[in-house]
Chain A
């Protein structure tokens, strides 16, 4: 037996190296696995390198553009001071509204004790595979990032956290083929599912009936029904609505509101489940 192993040692070892990952892949498919110790070690080595490179590039770019923009600084300063005064006035009004909101919530017995804070993160890399499209950010478990947290910019939704390790996390983009988001057309409130088209550029609409009122240019927002994304976040604009004869559902393309190729910072929201009101206790 031992001599047989020695004889075919190379074949057995290389065969195992070939078949083990294949079987793992075919059994797990697109789901992937939770990061193990080796994954964490690799990411612990690569994340500081990526962070350093990103900082160096941003620093060089910032220094150059800062030098160029010095000329118009005085004019911009005056404009900013004016805007700041206006923003302060708006902030006061919002503070009042917030206080009122909190009073009303308290009256309704709604508690925010479990809601986690929002987390701002910087994009330090884009994954090296064209088949799974994700961004690497510089916030991880230690900062409270959790799998499933929605990531967005002021323009709209970017994606959701797919994997978290110590000091970094990976955000799966909404254009990834595995991404499915509950959506609603803002104008007509028609419900839909926004699915990543896989090319890294756009999404397509699913589960929209042939006769539903959807036209080119409609804004698509999150519906809040998928258990991940809060309601009302902008996903993108509907384009190329097509209704094929004898089809039950219409087809449409959605151009993301965010230019996903140029995302530099994202805001991570707590999971939508954290917003859910507490279940009232049943008195017996």
Chain B
């Protein structure tokens, strides 16, 4: 259920984002909505379910990128595993803390994407690092999106649907 819901959300948001990016004329700075979904999975889902969902979300981003290479599924699964490691230390049940973790993930994701793009670029030039100039704004947008999406994501998490005290008595 959570797998299908997060993947469907990713598909929906990526479709909308592609149109809005066209309307707003943004190029270097993008809202990486998939990071928010993958971090949520890392914090709340089981390893197998989250791993498959993160892979699927990365695959969607790969397809939407125009040139599927495998970079984004790898980064999504890596981000998921890192978020899962973080969840052992941080109980990100509050909206603000979740947004902060998403911000950190967006920075790591952006840096790693630029690094791997540079690693496989034809000339090995530093031009691929130009995308990092938009990273601060990208991170800020990601934090904002995480804060806004938090109520929706919480509904996907059964752990929040706890029975009220005394209900079963």
Complex interface: chain B residues within 8 A of A31 (CB): 67, 69
- Choose one: A14, A163, A260; the contact of B47 (CB below 8 Å): A14
Which residue of chain A has its CB nearest to the CB of B126?
A198
> With A50-B19, A131-B113, A131-B114 in contact, is A43–B69 under 8 Å at CB?
no
Q: Is the interface of B mostly helix, strand, loop or mixed?
A: helix
Complex interface: chain A residues within 8 A of B77 (CB): 14, 17-18, 21
Q: Does B97 contact A (CB under 8 A)?
A: no
Interface residues on B, range: 35 or more
Q: Does A32 contact B (CB under 8 A)?
A: yes
Which residue of chain B has its CB nearest to the CB of A177?
B127
Which of A73-81, A122-130, A266-274, A276-284 lines the interface with chain B?
Answer: A122-130
CB atoms of B11 and A42 under 8 A apart: yes
Complex interface: chain B residues within 8 A of A134 (CB): 65-67
How many Cβ-Cβ contacts under 8 Å join chain A to chain B? 187
CB atoms of A21 and B74 under 8 A apart: yes
Q: Which residues of B contact A (CB under 8 A)?
A: 11-12, 14-19, 21-23, 25-30, 32-34, 47-48, 51-52, 54-55, 58-74, 77-78, 81, 113-114, 116-117, 119-122, 125, 127-131, 133-134, 138
> With A14-B47, A163-B66, A199-B130 in contact, is A46–B22 under 8 Å at CB?
no
**A201 to nearest B CB, angstroms?**
7
Which residue of chain A has its CB nearest to the CB of B64?
A128
> With A130-B29, A199-B28, A201-B27 in contact, is A14–B69 under 8 Å at CB?
no
> With A54-B22, A178-B122 in contact, is A127–B81 under 8 Å at CB?
no
Q: Does A106 contact B (CB under 8 A)?
A: no
CB atoms of A46 and B70 under 8 A apart: no
**A176 to nearest B CB, angstroms?**
9
CB atoms of B128 and A177 under 8 A apart: yes
Per-position 1/0 for A181-202, Cβ under 8 A of B: 0000000000000001111110
CB atoms of A129 and B25 under 8 A apart: no
**Which of A30, A35, A126 has most chain B Cβ within 10 Å?**
A126
CB atoms of A131 and B128 under 8 A apart: yes
- Choose one: A26, A49, A54, A162; the contact of B67 (CB below 8 Å): A162
Complex interface: chain A residues within 8 A of B125 (CB): 177, 198
